[in-house]
Structure 1
């Protein structure tokens, strides 16, 4: 049976045997009552990692972002975010359907950033005619911009303009530690200018479930109520928190391996002819299809045991992660090379 090399996302990672052991040994309690010691420890550790006062463990990154939106703003307020942002593209319109917020989208440049002058001009005061802008949402790394890591200085400049106009700033840091490793700086330096920040345990960090929302103590207390509103109050969640703690302790530095494998994958694909990949700085390879269609290539890849996903018109995405070794990367390239040769012949 062909070994499947799954490059669809870093969410497909499975807990290691050591992580499973940590989960089995976890001390637990009822987290809604605040009684789960493992969740409490995780929230304290997570807050410290990003330089915030407190944190809230939630089931998913989508819920973490939605809880942040609900906590920062009230229905009818306006939020500014990038037109390629995960909140706008992939979270089922929760910003409008559930949080009741008006979205003002700005163009995301190729590196995932926003133009600071365009942002400043987009901010609206609350008047009898306009809703008033209350929140800026940023993303780091930027998924649809090829996993681009955003420099702390850029986040600082955008946040300074936001704060000057009375806005708060939320950072969707689903892959925050990929950004920190790629930029060679602590995660807290990236998060410092932001009022709230999320990051996921179930992507590159390799845990099976969970994300965290971090901010001030007052913010997190209000966020806890919104988590309950969304049905995110878990009970003996220490079993999941133990996996996240293990990931923090063992899986951050190794993200550099995923980045190296992504670069090797992109370089190899670029040599084959039909593909134009980005030059990945983290673990996301976005490939423009120059000949054929994404659907045809993805079907051929899948038949050869290499899984990827469509990613907009004429593009596919491949993501390296904990369960893809350097040998797997080479094997994926070898299989794809044989597919290309067969097509050309």
Structure 2
């Protein structure tokens, strides 16, 4: 039995999703004439109470577009040291926008308003980059699927308004946070200038992310998406998967969260596990006690049972639960862990 917990992006479209895709009405989205894409964009914008949305082929392109919208070359964005836009987007911040990152030493990928305000460069001091944008990631990938305190997000918003900074949310796994914290998309829509949300993480879609904002911002985003090569033609087949996922696959994320907690509890019972990060959603990050074993040795043992996980570097390992991780697979994994 193969168990793949490398990411929640390894899922296959469900039967219902495939039916929705195959029956989708499509057109040429580069000319904004794909009815399914238009319906998805309207749906997501309405969910967040924002004016407009734009469908993208990837979350990285979505974030990179937002950064380019809010900055000019030579300026600076502020983010946590664990942020996806800094660690896992191929240096796109500098390549695409000519912007540098001011990293904040937060907790599990989450910084405070006090920390953000302390690193804003004086706007009249031309020797340093001009601070223009704050980027938040919720949930935090490298932080183990941690969810932000909404009150802290509000405090950071106040700092942004005080210093005339734009505010972007990398919400690749925001759906997980909404379910875990019983929050609503509209709460976030009132907070941020732009939000990116992923459809291929957790929700089971084969491809796709969406950027939401006001009409003028999204109109500008359309041009940047074109420049980055993100224009797609009959992409309504993919958009139909997104519509289906938003209707059918959001609430079930709580099942992934429950399984993740159970995996974490089992790991904590093992003598050779040094640390398991607190688990709120579907990501489990843990460390091996190297005096007893090694990270490589641990993953090799799991591979012999056809269980696949991933290294995050610096001795940290990661498992991610998802909709294709069945109850049978879950029992199999827990049994193998206990017998290591």
Instruction: Give the alignment partner of residue 55 of structure 1, picking from 53, 56, 59.
Output: 53
Please give the alpha-carbon distance, in whole angstroms, between the structure 2 residues aligned to 1:191 and 1:83: 25
Where does residue 230 of structure 2 map in the other structure? 232
Where does residue 115 of structure 2 map in the other structure? 118
| Cα deviations by residue, 1:258-315 (Å, 9 ceiling, x for unpaired) | 0000001111111122123223110000011113111111111111011100012121
Please give the alpha-carbon distance, in whole angstroms, between the structure 2 residues aligned to 1:129 and 1:277: 43
Contact between 2:112 and 2:152, CA under 8 Å: does it hold in 1?
A: no
Instruction: Give the alignment partner of residue 81 of structure 2, picking from 79, 83, 88.
Output: 83
Where in structure 2 are there 5+ consecutive unaligned residues? none
Q: By how many angstroms is 1:126 displaced?
A: 3.3
Instruction: Give the alignment partner of residue 92 of structure 1, picking from 90, 93, 99.
Output: 90
Question: Which runs of 4 or more aligned residues in structure 1 lie more than 2 Å from their structure 2 counterparts after TM superposition?
Answer: 125-131
What is the alpha-carbon root mean square deviation over aligned residues?
1.1
Contact between 1:8 and 1:318, CA under 8 Å: does it hold in 2?
A: yes
Q: By how many angstroms is 1:115 displaced?
A: 2.6
Contact between 1:284 and 1:319, CA under 8 Å: does it hold in 2?
A: yes
Q: By how many angstroms is 1:191 displaced?
A: 4.0
Q: TM-score, structure 2 length as denominator?
A: 0.96
Instruction: Give the alignment partner of residue 253 of structure 2, picking from 252, 255, 258.
Output: 255
Greater Cα shift, 63-72 or 325-334: 325-334
Please give the alpha-carbon distance, in whole angstroms, between the structure 2 residues aligned to 1:221 and 1:176: 23
Contact between 1:79 and 1:134, CA under 8 Å: does it hold in 2?
A: yes
Please give the alpha-carbon distance, in whole angstroms, between the structure 2 residues aligned to 1:191 and 1:90: 25
Where does residue 315 of structure 2 map in the other structure? 314
Where does residue 271 of structure 1 map in the other structure? 269
Q: By how many angstroms is 1:131 displaced?
A: 2.6
Where does residue 210 of structure 1 map in the other structure? 208
Contact between 2:178 and 2:185, CA under 8 Å: does it hold in 1?
A: yes
Please give the alpha-carbon distance, in whole angstroms, between the structure 1 residues aligned to 2:186 and 2:328: 33
Q: By how many angstroms is 1:327 displaced?
A: 2.9
Q: Sort the Cα spacing of 1:337 and 1:286 in 2 relative to 1 into closer, same or farther, 3 A.
A: same
| Cα deviations by residue, 1:196-252 (Å, 9 ceiling, x for unpaired) | 001100010110000011101000000110000000000100000000110000000
Q: By how many angstroms is 1:134 displaced?
A: 0.6
Where does residue 21 of structure 1 map in the other structure? 19
Please give the alpha-carbon distance, in whole angstroms, between the structure 1 residues aligned to 2:285 and 2:329: 18
Greater Cα shift, 197-206 or 321-330: 321-330
Once the two structures are superposed, the pairs formed by residues 1-345 of structure 1 within 5 Å of their partners are: 3-110=1-108, 112-127=109-124, 128-275=126-273, 276-290=275-289, 291-338=292-339, 340=340
Contact between 1:125 and 1:131, CA under 8 Å: does it hold in 2?
A: no
